[in-house]
Amino acid sequence: MKSIRLSMLAKRLKPVPALFTGGAMLLSMLACTSTNAVDFGGLVNSAGLAAKAATLSDAEVADLADKSCADLDRRNKIAAPGSKYAKRLATALKPLKMDKFNGKPLNAKVYLVSDVNAFAMDNGCIRVFAGLMDMANDDEIRGVVGHEIGHVLLGHSKKSMQTAYTLQAARGAAGAVSTTAATLSQSDLGDLGQKFIQAQFSQSQETDADDQSYGILYKEKLSRTGLVTMFQKLAKLDGSGHSMFSSHPSSPDRAQHIQSRIDKDG
């Protein structure tokens, strides 16, 4: 995607009422060093965070996912258990027979946000936005969630969390003009979640996640046409000039790739 983490359906999370606060990057600090004393201890700490990000263990990534997902949940209205959206998501995902993935219990909820979006984290956190559910049928929802789970199973989401953590370390360095060392505070966790969701995947990663979703559906003898029709719906949004859906490969190409697999496998 050009600017959003959600590889299949990209659109930025909107504030509900204020989802995240922005963070300054390292270059912002350089512009103010002439008038502010720089806390070099904070800079060293941030450099350590950045170095640490590249070697985050699976357990550490899951812990970060726990915290950032919890922060996102606090900032967004969640469909109540037994509500229309919650029941429909549970019904759509039940045939996947995935009580766990990546060794973590599945934890799927709906954000009552109008955006067309969804994401999955290494801790089993899956969030689907109401805007997506309003435009997608159950087969398409399964395809989307399978795609996001695919990114987790293939290790793409771990790399995204490492990247988000590195960027958060840079934000901490920018704040090191104060006397407080850079740490992951509550607001940092909010920024971390947004950076994770906005992380970009490569073309090969997108295709691999599409294929992973296809494999999950095929294994359970579920319809795979939802992947095709979802991409076709997104292609219409592409055609309307909606730049946030300028993913690579293009939506029509991804639809054709899946359709070719269906034609071959039957």
Catalytic (active-site) positions: 148
Write down the residue that tokens 């959003």 correspond to: 4
Segment holding 120, helix H or strand E: strand 118-120
Residues whose CB is less than 8 angstroms from the CB of residue 9 and which lie 6 or more positions away in sequence, other chains included: 116, 117, 118, 132, 144, 230, 234, 245
Count of CA atoms in the C-beta half-sphere (13 A) of 243: 2
Tokens matching residue 187: 């607001």
Coil vs helix vs strand at 119: strand
Contact 172, 183 (CB under 8 A): yes
DSSP 131-187: HHHHH--HHHHHHHHHHHHHHHHTTHHHHHHHHHHHHHHHHHHHGGGSSSPP---HH
Distance (Å) of CA 102 to CA 105, 126, 152, 159, 199: 8, 13, 7, 15, 20
Q: Which of 114, 149, 184 is nearest to 8 (CA)?
A: 149
